[in-house]
Amino acid sequence: MVVADNDLSSKIIPRVLIVSRRTLRKNKYVDFVGEYHLDLIVSYGAVPVIVPRVNGIHSMLQSFEPIHGVLLCEGEDVDPSLYADEEFSGLSPEEMEEIRKVHAEDMTIDREKDSIELTLARLCLDRNIPFLGICRGSQILNVAAGGTLYQDIDKEVITTSRTKHIDYDNYDGHRHEARIVEETPLHKWFEEMYIMVNSYHHQGVKRLAHRFEPMAYAPDGLIEGFYDPNRYDPEKGQFLMGLQFHPERMRLSGSDEFDYPGCALIYQEFVKAVISFQKKQVNATQLEMKRKTKTLVKSFSQTEFLEANTVLSKQQENRLKQMGATVRNSCVYMKRMKRKEEQERAMDKLSAERLSDLLSFHHMMARLCSDAIKRKLLEPTDRTIEFSSSFLNY
């Protein structure tokens, strides 16, 4: 990426924020992010910036600016109170206890992580920042946009086509079929109507937020992927998407090779959007700075600025005039410096012989000028003496 030497903001590598997940290790909490996400983000030209899942960090997210993209992935169940409405399942305490026994680790609600990720998702929705949600990240995006979730697929999705969405005995190897919707980004990347995807979840999208369109379905009808068609154009920095499966982990057994080339293309296109978004931000910032500079110089250079602001005191007017004079003088000074630099560059192009001749010429001119000055200095004295004598004679 080519950047201007004097533009610090454009030297920043595109930044993708990723929220860590907290786990207990050796009686201490440890925050982590899956390495596959980090590797893919870096390999396509962006830098992952990890947002730690720390109490209170949701109120400090402005410290992570500039934000050029957000990737949310992995984590426990989203707090049901965040999306409860008239469609709320209302599972009985007995059913919830059954679910808790099967999915004990996932059902631990992490409200701080919820708060951090919902804040980031809504920020991306408001500011058109590229966003990719994987698994839990797709659920967060749907909730942030006004959608709802199934608290437990097995208990709530009633269908003749039962689909196993998690297999603890064959965690990474488990796959189920997904039907891809034509003329969607997923169809473009995978170039197939049916693919086998991995699955690590017991919750999923129930009511899809209005702005989104489905990209893939599981056999039981559960949405496996969605996007905002009005916010998808990586070349222009637009990307807003959620995937229930984990493309970064869809790899051949005992290998780093992906099940499908489309798995890597998802991250490639996401980072492309991140890079384009950053360029747009930098260009917009530069244009705004130029506009403000021109306005400032024009305001200080024209007297009508002062005449229009009649509420200014005399002291303020004088101060503004002084500042205007400073701006004008600095412009003149810069022009002189530029001419001096041009003259120096011209001199550097001359040969040593030419420079020697030029130096001899200037020495000769200096002597001639010195002699002429001496004669000029003597002339007024002679005339004064002559005038005094004439006056006395008179």
- Catalytic residue annotation: 135, 246, 248
d(CA 187, CA 244) in angstroms, rounded, equals 16
Cβ-contact 78, 136 below 8 angstroms: yes
**Cα–Cα distances in angstroms (integers) from residue 289 to residues 7, 284, 325, in the given order:** 11, 9, 21
Residue 278: phi, psi to the nearest 5? -60, -40
Q: Which helix (H) or strand (E) holds 288?
A: helix 261-301
Cβ-contact 225, 149 below 8 angstroms: no
Q: Which of 147, 135, 146 is CA-nearest to residue 203?
A: 135
Ranges of beta strands (E only) in the chain are 15-19, 21-25, 28-32, 47-51, 69-73, 131-134, 149-150, 176-180, 194-197, 204-205, 213-217, 223-227, 240-243
User: What tokens does 1 get?
Assistant: 């990426």
d(CA 127, CA 284) in angstroms, rounded, equals 14
**Cα–Cα distances in angstroms (integers) from residue 276 to residues 14, 131, 280, 281, in the given order:** 9, 13, 6, 9
d(CA 358, CA 350) in angstroms, rounded, equals 10
Max intra-chain CA distance, the chain: 138
> Is the sign of the CA dihedral 207, 208, 213, 218 positive or negative?
negative
Measured at the alpha carbon of residue 16, what is the angle toward residues 13 and 20, in degrees to the nearest 5? 135
- Residues forming beta bridges with residue 65, ordered by sequence position: none
The 3-state DSSP class for residue 63 equals helix
